[in-house]
Amino acid sequence: MTNTPDIIWTPAASTEDGARNARELFTRIFGGEAEGVWRAPGRVNIIGEHVDYNGGPCLPIALPHAAYVAVRPRPDRRVRLVSPQTVDAVDELDLDTVGPVGSAGAVKGWAAYLIGVAWALEQAGYGPLAGFDIALWSCVPLGAGLSSSAALECSTAVALDDLAGLGLAGSVDAPNKEGRGILVAASRRAENEIAGANTGGLDQSASMHCTRGHALVLDSRDMSVRQTPFDIAASGCELLVIDTRAPHQLVDGQYGQRRADCEAAATLLGVDLLVDVEDYEAAMATLAGEGAESGEAEEAERARLQARTRHVLSEIARTKAFIEILESAPLLSEEKLQVLGGLMNDSHDSLRDDYEVTVPELDVAVDVARARGAYGARMTGGGFGGSVIALVKIGQGEEIAQAVTAAFADHGFAQPHVFVATPADGAGRVE
């Protein structure tokens, strides 16, 4: 056994501190004052993983951890971008030359997520936009599967919407749902086409639509949303987030391959999206190729597509059941908490065995949390690294965090970072 290090807690910065940090960075690099500061949160997805691009339901909450952007419009089409990590090399680009991945105007690095939103808004007919100077400061953990990239996109989206007078976002207290849907689409297109990550719309929808004290019920089939109360503290629980520090990348091909598998399965089943499958047993039989002769390679491919589809269809069912329990009563009984935890456990096991997107750090964190008494624990986000969430009794989080920290030390993993998540507001202007 190695000596167990102290727990590393990573609470969110206050809104005031986040806004001040962005403003001070702006003034230090660009001089003068920014026009304003806008924020957008990261998210954790409670359940409904890898079903957004298959048309299924998802259940995210917004985190208090957010990205803050201080912005000032320019009289030209130039864009200058800075973050605390890039103060020695400010990015400078031209809106007239930005283009998708693979084109002459491709944008490298983190700047793609921000300037890509301006490009996408103009592609949607909201332009031409003025250039701008933008300073980013974020406390959303990077590479943790908590939608740090969506926070960048959505904070930029609400800033540009405000500065250009587009009137799409409304305010945090009085959001324009339809207009925010347009900003979600632009942010998603920025990530897909400019940054090159072929994700669904879950992350951007959560960052833009979530409200304090609620989880967001997102129907990925039509991108409609509704709020459902998520006050688990009233039921004696809290949501522990464990950032495993295992590198999390969605642009290395693994995520895209899972999506391609789902598209191939849908084609074999004769549906547009896997959410359209009505007969589970018949779908499994079709994908297994029952009665058909095939070689070893084809059998392996069919088995893989069957496993991917099994996860998606079972995850859709789990998510619907989870939402139904949340909406059944304002307070959750011990019995219902046990059921919710079981759904979370089944979700992780399916992501591990059928979708094959977990890594050892995720599995160890889940196993330890369950062994130490969590109602349920699962990976959250795209996988291949990132974070775990655990539904635990209030006060139990520290004990579980310490146990996970010790287990990681024993395995030689990087030390995890942890915090307790509470549902926060979506994107908007903060000053």
CA atoms within 13 A on the CB side of 120: 26
CB 63 within 8 A of CB 43: yes
The one-letter amino acid at 354? D
The number of residues making up the chain comes to: 431
* Straight-line distance from the first to the last Cα atom of the chain, in angstroms, rounded to the nearest whole number: 50
Here the tokens at position 276 are 């359209």
Q: Please tell me which residue in 52, 133, 161, 203 is annotated as part of the active site.
A: 203
Number of Cβ within a 10 Å radius of residue 3? 6
CB 367 within 8 A of CB 361: no
Here the tokens at position 160 are 């540009």
Distance CA 144, CA 43 (A): 11
Number of Cβ within a 10 Å radius of residue 122? 17
The one-letter amino acid at 8? I
Residue ranges in 12-93 assigned as alpha helix (H): 15-30
Distance CA 351, CA 315 (A): 9
Here the tokens at position 291 are 């009665």
Residue 386 DSSP SS3: coil
Active-site residue, 354 included: no
Strands 376-380 and 237-243: unpaired
Give residue 143's region: left, alpha or beta (phi > 0; psi -120 to 50).
left
Q: How far is the CA of 71 from the CAs of 31, 263, 328, 334, 386, in angstroms?
A: 12, 40, 43, 48, 30
Residue 145 DSSP SS3: coil
Distance CA 384, CA 50 (A): 12
Distance CA 141, CA 417 (A): 9
Distance CA 246, CA 100 (A): 29
Distance CA 285, CA 150 (A): 38
Radius of gyration for the alpha carbons in the chain, expressed in angstroms and rounded: 22
Q: 296 — phi, psi (to 5°)?
A: -65, -40
**Would you name the residues annotated as active-site residues?**
203
